[in-house]
Every structure is written in structure tokens, then in C-alpha cells.
């Protein structure tokens, strides 16, 4: 199995490192546009192999897509990260062009690959990759929900002083401040979270989760990479090992949740064919209305992308 990671920056290199370290595939190809960057990071990861005892080959190339040919999965992380004071949507103009040209080259060399988009604004960059690739919606998906639920689970684990391993959670919607964490679908060792934490504390955690990316941007001056790289690697692993993981993933909705033609995070079954099933949860009125608010926001940004593409 072969995986390409486009963008050898913070998120891309972290993802490649985890894929190698865990021997998820035989070969990881890192691609970047910056001369020598991907080659250097791939070599560094390969030199770690004798220490950490793995044999996944890591190869780096500068914009040479012939080396990515016949990849099973391609992760697209190329693009600008935001700086303090910016929203993810502020990245659209630059990143739309990058994701479009990268997707064209990826598909030309790996027509059967499953594409995982990471670049921001996530839901709309997934839209960009999907329309550019012309692949089925089940094969062009975005990474956000695994990261957002991980933040939510980590905050809960801290507040409850329990292991993050025992916290299960689901979350819907766009990868932005309108995301919809679902306390009704959150459990701690099988126990509904609402039995273990009072409503005010839970609400504070939900609000912190929604701006979890921004919290890190403020601290570091650029956006996060350890958890995002790991979340993307988990999606790759689910696909190449055909694990049928049930995780939130961004995909084009075609009538699910009463929503059509919008790219949003929803629970899916993730396996060798990409998204093998979209799971429709029974939502109450408030959850449904929050999801519609999130949809409206993503649709607005999708319209901005349409204008950029029609210029
Ligand atoms: N979906 C999510 O949950 C998350 C998304 N992100 C997004 O991921 C993207 C990458 O973030 P970082 O790795 O921190 O940024 P970074 O700046 O460290 O890395 C980006 C890399 O992309 C490369 N690049 C730019 N244009 C390219 C092209 N045409 N072809 C190949 N490579 C190209 C750059 O040279 C750079 O090395 C950003 O858009 C960021 O907002 C980051 C974290 C989480
Ligand atoms: O916040 C950002 O810009 C990067 C990102 O999407 C995240 O870490 O959730």
C-alpha cells in the first residue's frame, strides 16, 4: 500500500511520520512545492526508522507527481495555515488555487486514490477537491471531525479526571465555530456524560471545543499539527486496513439530514472504499437547528468558492 501526503509542512510531515512509525503502509511519499523540504523531512523520518524500529519507506519529492503514481490514499495538507486574528475562511482565496492544482495532479497520477483533504477552510476545500477530481463523493472526504471530537474528548477527560481512552463522542457540522458537538451522543465508559458532569461545565467544554483551533493559533502564532496529523493518519489507517471505523468525516451530503449539496461533517463508516455508509442520527430540534446554522455558514463559503472558480 502506498500513501501520498501533499504538503510537507507541520501537519503533512506529522501525518507522514505517524503513518511510518505505525507501519500503516509500505511507502509514504511526501510532496511539497518548496525545494528540498519534502526530501529533507522524508529523509529525517527514514533516519528515525532504526531507532523506532519500523520499515515503512519514506520518500520526498519537490512537485514531482510521477513519484506519487498509483497511491491508494492521498492526503492533501498543502496550503496556508491561519495566523492569530484570522478565521479559517480568510484562507480561501490562496488555498482554493493550491487545492485545485494539487488535486488535478494527484488524480492524473493516481486515478483510483481516495483523497483526504486537510487544508482549510476544510469543508469548502473538500468541495474544491471533489469537483476538481470528479471522483465519487465517497472517495473525496475531509478531516475535521476526528480532530474536533478529540479536542472535546480531551477536555472532558481533563474535567472528569478520567482516561481519554474511555470517552466516546460524536459531532456534526462544519469545521468552524458553528460545529455541533453532541452531548446526547457522548459517553464515558458507556455512561452518558450528562450523568457525570453538570450542564454549565459541559457547556463550557462545548464552547471551548468550537474554538479549539483558534485557542492553539493564539498560543503558537500558527495552527496545530500534532492532533491534526494524527487524525488524518487515523483516517488513512481506517481505509488501508479496511477497519470500518465509525468516525465523523466531512462529505458532500445528498439528502441526509434533510441537507442537499453541502459538505459537512457527519458520522460515517470508513473502510477500503472510503465512506461506505453515512449514518443518520436521530436529532432533536435544537441539534437539527444547530446543524442547519452550520450548513448555512458552509453554504455561504461554498458560494465564495464558486465565485473564485468562475473568475
Ligand atoms: N482540517 C483540519 O482540521 C486542519 C487543517 N489545517 C490546515 O492544513 C493546512 C496546512 O497546515 P500546516 O501544515 O500547519 O501549514 P504549513 O505551512 O506548515 O505547511 C503547508 C505546506 O504546504 C506547502 N505547499 C504550499 N503550496 C503547495 C503546493 N501547491 N503543492 C505542494 N505543497 C504546497 C508549503 O510549502 C508548506 O510546506 C492549512 O491550510 C491549515 O489551515 C491545519 C490543522 C487542522
Ligand atoms: O485552527 C486552524 O486554523 C487549524 C484547524 O483547522 C484546527 O486546528 O482545527
CA dist., res. 77 & res. 142, Å (int): 11
Binding residues: 7-12, 32, 82, 88, 95, 118-120, 151
**Residue whose entry in the numeric block shows the C-alpha cell 455508509:** 277
Predicted local distance difference test score (pLDDT) of residue 146: 98
In a domain, 232, yes or no: yes
The residues, ordered by sequence, that sit 6+ positions from 282 with a Cβ below 8 Å of its Cβ are: none
Atom of ligand 1 nearest to the CA of 118: 1
Residues 13 and 104 in one domain: yes
Catalytic residue, candidates 109, 130, 175, 297: 175
Is residue 151 in contact with ligand 2, taking CB distance under 6 Å? no
> What CATH number has the domain bearing residue 12?
3.40.50.720
Mark which of 121, 142, 163 sits at the end of a domain: 142
Residues 271 and 165 in one domain: yes
Parallel/antiparallel/unpaired status of strands 114-117 and 140-142: parallel
Is residue 223 in contact with ligand 2, taking CB distance under 6 Å? yes
What does the block give as the cell for 115?
483523497
Q: How far is CA 301 from CA 84, 135, 184, 231, 310, in A?
A: 20, 22, 29, 24, 14
Residues 54 and 130 in one domain: yes
Residues 17 and 47 in one domain: yes
Residues 78 and 203 in one domain: no
Q: What's the 272 CA to ligand 1 centre distance in angstroms? A: 25
Residues 23 and 121 in one domain: yes
Predicted local distance difference test score (pLDDT) of residue 7: 98
Mark which of 142, 172, 188 sits at the end of a domain: 142
Residues 165 and 120 in one domain: no
Region for 282 from its dihedrals, namely left if φ exceeds 0, alpha if ψ lies in -120 to 50, beta otherwise? beta
CA dist., res. 308 & res. 245, Å (int): 35
pTM above 0.80, yes or no: yes
Predicted local distance difference test score (pLDDT) of residue 229: 98
Residues 240 and 224 in one domain: yes
Active site includes 175?
yes
Q: For residues 86-115, b (16+ Cβ closer than 10 Å) or e, as one string?
A: ebbbebbeebbebbbebbebbbebbeebbb
> What CATH number has the domain bearing residue 167?
3.90.110.10
Confidence of residue 188 (pLDDT cuts 50, 70, 90): very high
Instruction: For residues 168-176, give the mean pLDDT.
Output: 98
> Mean pLDDT over all residues of the chain?
98
Residues 83 and 163 in one domain: no
Is residue 213 in contact with ligand 2, taking CB distance under 6 Å? yes
Q: Tell me the ipTM for this assembly.
A: 0.99
Predicted local distance difference test score (pLDDT) of residue 110: 98
In a domain, 311, yes or no: no
The pLDDT tens digits of the residues spanning 215-269 come to 999 999 999 999 999 999 999 999 999 999 999 999 999 999 999 999 999 999 9
From the CA of 10, which ligand is nearest? 1
Per the CB < 8 A criterion, the answer to whether 54 and 23 are in contact is yes
In a domain, 30, yes or no: yes
Q: For residue 303, with 0-12 CB atoms within 10 Å meaning exposed, 13-18 middle and 19 or more buried, which class applies?
A: exposed
**Residue whose entry in the numeric block shows the C-alpha cell 493559533:** 217
Q: Of 4, 6, 8, 11, which is best to mutate to test ligand 1, by the most ligand atoms within 8 angstroms of its C-beta?
A: 11
- Residues facing 301 on adjacent strands: none
Per the CB < 8 A criterion, the answer to whether 177 and 311 are in contact is no
Query: Closest Cα partner for 295 from 146, 145, 172, 140?
Result: 172
**Chain centre to alpha carbon of residue 46:** 25
Residues 210 and 284 in one domain: yes
In a domain, 164, yes or no: yes
The residues, ordered by sequence, that sit 6+ positions from 200 with a Cβ below 8 Å of its Cβ are: none
Q: What's the 77 CA to ligand 1 centre distance in angstroms? A: 4
Q: What's the 255 CA to ligand 2 centre distance in angstroms? A: 28
Q: How many domains, in total, are found in the chain?
A: 2
Instruction: Name residues contacting ligand 1 (CB within 6 A).
Output: 6-12, 31-34, 37, 77-82, 91, 95, 98, 101-102, 118-120, 122, 143-144, 147, 175, 222-225, 228
CB atoms within 10 A of CB 49: 16
Residues 268 and 135 in one domain: no
What does the block give as the cell for 213?
483551533
CA dist., res. 79 & res. 94, Å (int): 7
Mark which of 119, 142, 165 sits at the end of a domain: 142
Range of the domain at 11: 2-142
In a domain, 175, yes or no: yes
Predicted local distance difference test score (pLDDT) of residue 158: 98
Predicted local distance difference test score (pLDDT) of residue 263: 98
Residues 186 and 301 in one domain: yes
From the CA of 265, which ligand is nearest? 1
- Prior bond to 121 cis, omega within 30? yes
Amino acid at each position: 500500500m502506498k500513501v501520498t501526503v501533499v504538503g510537507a509542512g507541520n501537519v503533512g510531515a506529522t501525518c507522514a511520520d505517524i503513518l511510518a512509525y505505525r507501519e500503516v503502509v509500505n511507502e509514504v511519499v511526501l510532496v511539497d512545492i518548496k525545494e528540498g523540504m519534502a526530501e529533507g523531512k522524508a529523509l529525517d523520518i527514514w533516519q528515525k526508522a532504526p531507532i523506532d524500529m519500523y520499515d515503512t519507506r519514506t520518500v520526498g519529492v519537490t512537485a514531482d507527481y510521477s513519484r506519487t503514481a498509483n497511491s491508494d490514499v492521498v492526503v492533501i495538507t498543502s496550503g496556508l495555515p491561519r495566523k492569530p486574528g484570522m478565521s479559517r475562511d480568510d484562507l480561501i482565496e490562496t488555498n482554493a488555487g493550491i487545492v485545485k492544482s494539487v488535486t488535478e495532479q494527484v488524480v492524473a497520477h493516481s486515478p483510483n486514490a481516495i483523497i483526504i483533504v486537510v487544508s482549510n477552510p476544510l469543508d469548502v476545500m473538500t468541495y474544491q477537491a471533489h469537483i476538481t477530481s470528479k471522483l465519487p463523493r465517497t472517495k473525496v472526504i475531509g478531516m475535521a471531525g476526528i480532530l474536533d471530537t478529540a479536542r472535546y474528548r480531551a477536555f472532558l477527560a481533563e474535567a472528569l479526571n478520567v482516561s481519554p481512552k474511555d470517552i466516546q463522542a460524536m459531532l456534526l457540522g462544519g469545521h468552524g465555530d458553528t460545529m455541533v458537538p453532541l452531548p446526547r451522543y457522548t459517553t464515558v465508559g458507556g455512561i452518558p456524560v450528562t450523568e457525570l458532569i453538570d450542564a454549565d461545565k459541559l457547556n463550557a467544554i462545548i464552547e471551548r471545543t468550537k474554538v479549539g483551533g483558534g485557542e492553539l493559533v493564539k498560543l503558537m502564532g500558527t495552527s496545530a499539527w500534532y492532533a491534526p496529523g494524527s487524525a488524518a493518519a487515523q483516517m488513512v489507517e481506517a481505509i488501508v486496513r479496511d477497519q470500518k471505523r465509525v468516525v465523523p468525516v466531512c462529505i458532500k451530503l445528498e439528502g441526509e439530514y434533510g441537507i442537499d449539496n453541502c459538505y459537512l461533517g457527519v458520522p460515517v463508516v470508513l473502510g477500503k472504499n472510503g465512506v461506505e455508509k453515512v449514518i443518520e442520527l436521530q436529532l432533536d430540534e435544537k441539534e437539527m437547528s444547530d446543524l442547519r446554522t452550520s450548513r448555512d455558514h458552509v453554504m455561504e463559503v461554498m458560494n465564495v468558492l464558486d465565485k473564485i472558480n468562475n473568475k
